[in-house]
Structure 1
Amino acid sequence: MATQRKSIFITGAASGMGRETARLFAAKGWFVGAHDVNEAGLKDLQAELGAEACLIRRLDVTDREDYRAALDAFAPAAGGRLDILFNNAGIGRGGRFDKQPWEDIVAVVQVNLMGVLIGIYEAVPLLKATPNSLCFTTSSSSATFGMAGIAVYSATKHAVKGLTEALSVEFKAIGVRVADVLPGLIDTPILPPGAVAAAPKEGMWRAMPPSSVAQVVWEAYQSDKLHWYVPEEIAELDKAATLAPEAMREQMAQNSLFGDPA
């Protein structure tokens, strides 16, 4: 039982950003609900953090009934409170849009968008019951401007960013804060092999450790800031894409590997 400890419910907690967030919040004395489809990773995490600090459960975020059951199991263990819902689970499948398997397109939409919608919808009662609660979601730097090669992934992250903005207004009436993080290149298993080694050493596309996102989740709870960028330079990309989308389109096209229609 969490008794009076603050609590965080994390999806995609078995590895990468979710795992680092679980570690950080457990170290801060919070009760952690760690959820993922990777049961082996969850068991390893619980062994590291201790069962008194961490409740684990397999969760398919695309299954509304499963999500509801996970929250039902979490609530009594967390003393009926949910200080942060961290919608972090996501998958990345890319390629040229007209060459992608339809099943991959659907899977990306189901996990990256529907999983977020389900999670927020089902968690609202717990968030409302917890003073100063935060609904926090992982968006992406690809939500600044649609990115070739990951068009559907990018579209889902644009949707998450827009949802965050809308709910940040709506949820004021029920006392729930809403924010998101737009990470750039984060060294996690979602990246293709060799991506980190090939990344520049400086600038907005440098590889960042997953712990940098975990730190942002912690800072977001102490703040009323809406969008968080990792690294912070991604914010400049967001501004540029908004002010001059045509110029951004041409710049992206020049750097794209998807110009050949064959």
Structure 2
Amino acid sequence: MGTANNRKSIFITGAASGMGRESARLFRQKGWFVGAYDVNAEGLRALEAELGADNCVVRRLDVTDKADYERAIAEFGACTGGKMDILYNNAGIGVGGYFDELPFEDILRVVGVNFIGVLNGIHSAIGLLKATPGSLCFTTSSSSATYGMPGIAVYSATKHAVKGLTEALSIEFRRYGVRAADVLPGLIDTAILPPGTAERAPKEGMFRLIPPIEVAKVVWEAYHSDKLHWYVPSEIAELDKAAGNTPELVREQISSTMTFADEVASEKK
């Protein structure tokens, strides 16, 4: 376990793979001290070896366990002198299928990781963020937070909740000098995608396949900006605008693509 030694620091959940792992790599390259957390202990060990033990602290963490989250935050603070420049709430899971056909325990599991886990993280870390000038509370939302998506309704609902929470906290936390922002990624090439999705993804347009490093770059940019919502790719912003202005039209457009949604739902069962 390393110590920050006056370096800036970032606390990343879901760090063992995908967007979290790429963010850990990027911030290490930028000279930051990295806290990497995930339920995937093997992935964390590999990441620690890559980053160097003096440059990071890695720890298994189930974000739904508030008490353990608080312990992880305390341990991180002990390594950073009680500071945290970025809290990156990135951990998330997806369970596809039609809402009425899903086991209710699967629904609650998605809510637990994707939203309760974010609440646990922010509530546990706010003390360190308040103690750090210019700090940022950053969270992974989703393009599915622009309009409720069939086949992943609960996932989509949790990401809407994350987006709304971010907007509210971006105002509330101003009294501490803490910023809040989120990223709304489209189709990112990570393990959360069901088998075959990458091969069927369009080659262009807002739902083309995007490498996870592009999200990591956005986390870096967000730290140096006061922008609230970040879209990857940027065209997702147009869907967000359309969903707000003409939700009925977007509903019909999405309904016309239900064949793809049916395929995703059946593969995720």
TM-score, with structure 2 as normaliser: 0.95
Instruction: Tell me if 1:135 matches 2:137.
Output: yes
Query: What does residue 48 of structure 2 align with?
Result: 46
Q: Give the alignment of 1:155-234 within 5 angstroms.
A: 155-234=157-236
1:113 to 102, 112, 115: 115
Amino acid at match of 1:247: L
RMSD: 0.9
Query: What does residue 4 of structure 1 align with?
Result: 6
Secondary structure class of the residue paired with 2:248 = helix
Query: What does residue 94 of structure 1 align with?
Result: 96
Distance 1:83 1:108 in 2: 28
Secondary structure class of the residue paired with 1:152 = helix
Amino acid at match of 2:186: G
Distance 1:91 1:62 in 2: 12
Q: Report the CA distance between 1:103 and its aligned residue.
A: 1.1
Secondary structure class of the residue paired with 2:57 = strand
Structure 1 residues 195-248: Cα deviation after superposition (integer angstroms, max 9, x where no partner) = 111101111000000000000000000000000000000000000000000111
Secondary structure class of the residue paired with 1:52 = helix
Number of residue pairs the alignment of both structures matches: 259
Distance 2:242 2:205 in 1: 16
Q: Percent of aligned pairs with the same residue?
A: 69
Amino acid at match of 2:82: G
Query: What does residue 24 of structure 2 align with?
Result: 22
Structure 1 residues not aligned, in runs of 5+: none
4+ residue runs of structure 1 moved beyond 3 angstroms? none
Q: Report the CA distance between 1:79 and its aligned residue.
A: 2.1
Query: What does residue 60 of structure 2 align with?
Result: 58
Q: Report the CA distance between 1:54 and its aligned residue.
A: 1.1
Structure 1 residues 174-198: Cα deviation after superposition (integer angstroms, max 9, x where no partner) = 1100000000000000000111111
Q: Report the CA distance between 1:62 and its aligned residue.
A: 0.2
1:80 to 82, 87, 94: 82
Amino acid at match of 2:54: E
Structure 2 residues not aligned, in runs of 5+: 263-269
Secondary structure class of the residue paired with 1:34 = strand
Distance 1:215 1:195 in 2: 24
Query: What does residue 70 of structure 2 align with?
Result: 68
